[in-house]
Structure 1
Amino acid sequence: MTAGIGIPICIQCGTHSNPCRCKVIGPTVGFLAFAAAAVVEWPIGAVVYIFRHMKGRRIMAHPATVVYPRVTRAIPI
């Protein structure tokens, strides 16, 4: 039995942005962009949180509230 690291694939069905009503590439690339942004922004947000709570929370929430939705909406398939 072997275990490998797979590429995350995200599927979003029920959208109106394309005729098939399913998106695969947009959510998958959005997730990868989310993960890359989170690796950078979460440690910075944690340090800022020590001094400025609300600013630190906004920094840590940025990948989920801004990066993922923008990338997912930008790619219609």
Structure 2
Amino acid sequence: MTGGIGFPVCVQCGTHSNPCRCKVVGPTVGFLAFAAAAIVEWPLGAVVYCFKHMKGRRIMAHPASVVYPSVSNAIPI
């Protein structure tokens, strides 16, 4: 999951969503969306965690459990 000059390139092989059975664009865009959401949600989740443990955990898990899969699966290549 590393690329050239600091740009992440993610490859997912063994998928049945396209004839090549490999995805590059979807996972890479999904990772970038995950990173953008995490920058906002992790500090916010840490603050909320101090008062409401379960709510803080859900906020911090949101990028990995919702954002990345949604974006990655939306792009079939």
TM-score (norm 2): 0.93
Matches within 5 A, 1:8-23: 8-23=8-23
Residue 48 of structure 1 corresponds to 48
Q: How big is the shift at 1:6?
A: 1.8
Q: How big is the shift at 1:11?
A: 0.1
Q: How big is the shift at 1:5?
A: 4.1
Q: How big is the shift at 1:68?
A: 0.1
Q: Which moved more, 1:5-14 or 1:61-70?
A: 5-14
Aligned residue type for 2:11: I
Aligned residue type for 2:26: G
Q: How big is the shift at 1:75?
A: 0.2
Residue 74 of structure 2 corresponds to 74
Q: How big is the shift at 1:28?
A: 0.2
Aligned residue type for 2:18: N
Matches within 5 A, 1:24-63: 24-63=24-63
Larger radius of gyration: 1
Percent of pairs with identical residues = 84
5+ residue gaps, structure 2, are none
Question: Any idea what SS the aligned residue of 2:50 has?
Answer: helix
